[in-house]
Structure 1
Amino acid sequence: MVSSENTKHTDKTIQNAIVKGKGIKREKIDRKVRLLASLIPPTNTPPVEEGIVAFYAQISKDESNPSVHHTLIFDKVRTNVGNGYNGVTGIFTEPREGIYVFNWVIRMHNAQHSTELLINNDIFGAAFLRAKNGDDGSVSGTAVAHVGKGDVVFVRTHFTLGGDGNILSDLYSYTTFSGWLLH
């Protein structure tokens, strides 16, 4: 359990990193702060209706040349019913067991990347796009999986295949991650 003193410190540290972070990359937020933030339940989400779990999040700014094995952080959380998604870590923690649908959409311009959907440490899905020679495109992946309570789901760049170029997210096309409990 996180003490209220640690919670206040973590909230303040995260808030300062976000407010001052106009030129700071998300990955520069201290790892301990992100881990502590994952223990704090979100406070800006609507009450959970019985049985409904769904999230939808976007990357708020371009991801510059991500390296291999890089967890993508979809930091602009638009929907988080069930409070399972964490916009600081990019990880969805299953609030209850069931069959889930997960979808991720990655946009690139003059770049190439392979992305993976992981459930715990299992690569459950992958999607690759080569948008070179001035091309602009999006690739999406969808997976349906039986997931246990407490399991974690996230999207990362491929663990060995190095990509190049930026992953884009703007008003023309957002890079997104979503999931919902089917049954």
Structure 2
Amino acid sequence: MVNEIKKTEDNIISTLGDIKQTVADFTDMFADMRGNITDELLKREEEIKGREKLFKTLFEETRKTLTSGNEAEKQKLIQLQGILEQPAIAFYAHHLKDLLLDTTDEILIFEKTFTNEGTGYDTSTGLFTAPVGGLYQFDVHTCASNEKYSYLGLVMEGNVIAADANYGDASYGCNNFGAIIRLKSGAKVWIKSTSSASNRQLYQDSHRFNTFSGLLVNN
């Protein structure tokens, strides 16, 4: 009986040793697993941080692009609004009050207008007064009488900026001249005779018009 007890005790001690070793093995295994899990979690955390940084960068770049695009569109709208708000300034005058060019510096007065948007041209004085400042285009068409001459100038504030010399042969003679100039608001433009004599005269009929026209191109 003592031997059996001793044998049983040894088995129990051996079993306890096995259990202890198994526990130690499991402890080491769990430690390794925990270490692996921690490393994996840290790795995933770094990946998430990297993706978050990339997302923030892409978001900021997209925001800047959209902001820049909106600003460009805003400027286009402002320019378009300026064009739409540009006043209509244009005149087309005809029919001279006096065809004789017997006085130097005499202003040619066109008594009628087909167009006078902005009422800049005065049919009583022959002067065009710019209602607004801007870039203007002016055109002059005149016809010299039969075997007569005409010497004319397009004048801006007293200065001749374009000139024309014409001679009317047996079938008369018509010429065109003009200029593109920038005017301040209130500036005056007109046509005058630059040389006077008894053989200086213009001509007009239903087939030959003398005309003076102007247009605001851009302000």
TM-score range, shorter chain: 0.5 to 0.7
- CA distance in 2 between partners of 1:61 and 1:94 (Å): 22
Report the equivalent of 1:56: 92
Q: Return the match for 2:111 from 75, 83, 88.
A: 75
Report the equivalent of 1:121: 158
Higher relative contact order (CA 8 A, sep 6+): 1
Report the equivalent of 1:42: none
RMSD, aligned α-carbons: 1.9
1:49-88: CA deviation from partner (whole Å, max 9, x where unpaired)? 8511000000256613432211000111111000100001
Looking at secondary structure, tell me which structure has more helix per residue.
Answer: 2
- CA distance in 2 between partners of 1:124 and 1:164 (Å): 24
| Residues 53/95 of structure 1: CA separation in 2 closer, same or farther (3 Å cut) | same
- CA distance in 2 between partners of 1:143 and 1:88 (Å): 23
SS class of match (1:85): coil
Paired-residue identity, %: 27
Structure 1 length as normaliser, TM-score?
0.67
1:102-122: CA deviation from partner (whole Å, max 9, x where unpaired)? 011111122101100001111
- CA distance in 1 between partners of 2:87 and 2:101 (Å): 39
- CA distance in 2 between partners of 1:126 and 1:163 (Å): 20
Gaps of 5+ in 1: 1-48
Q: Does 1:98 align with 2:134?
A: yes
- CA distance in 2 between partners of 1:140 and 1:100 (Å): 17
1:32-181 equivalences in 2 (<5 Å): 50-60=86-96, 63-108=99-144, 109-132=146-169, 134-158=170-194, 160=195, 162=197, 164-181=199-216
Max Rg structure: 2
Report the equivalent of 1:6: none
Structure 2 length as normaliser, TM-score?
0.57
Q: Which runs of 4+ in 1 moved over 2 A?
A: 64-67, 160-163
Gaps of 5+ in 2: 1-84
1:1-20 equivalences in 2 (<5 Å): none
Contact 1:61 1:169 in 2 (8 A): no
Looking at secondary structure, tell me which structure has more strand per residue.
Answer: 1
- CA distance in 1 between partners of 2:185 and 2:198 (Å): 33
For 1:123, the aligned partner's letter is: V
SS class of match (1:128): strand
Q: CA deviation at 1:93?
A: 0.3
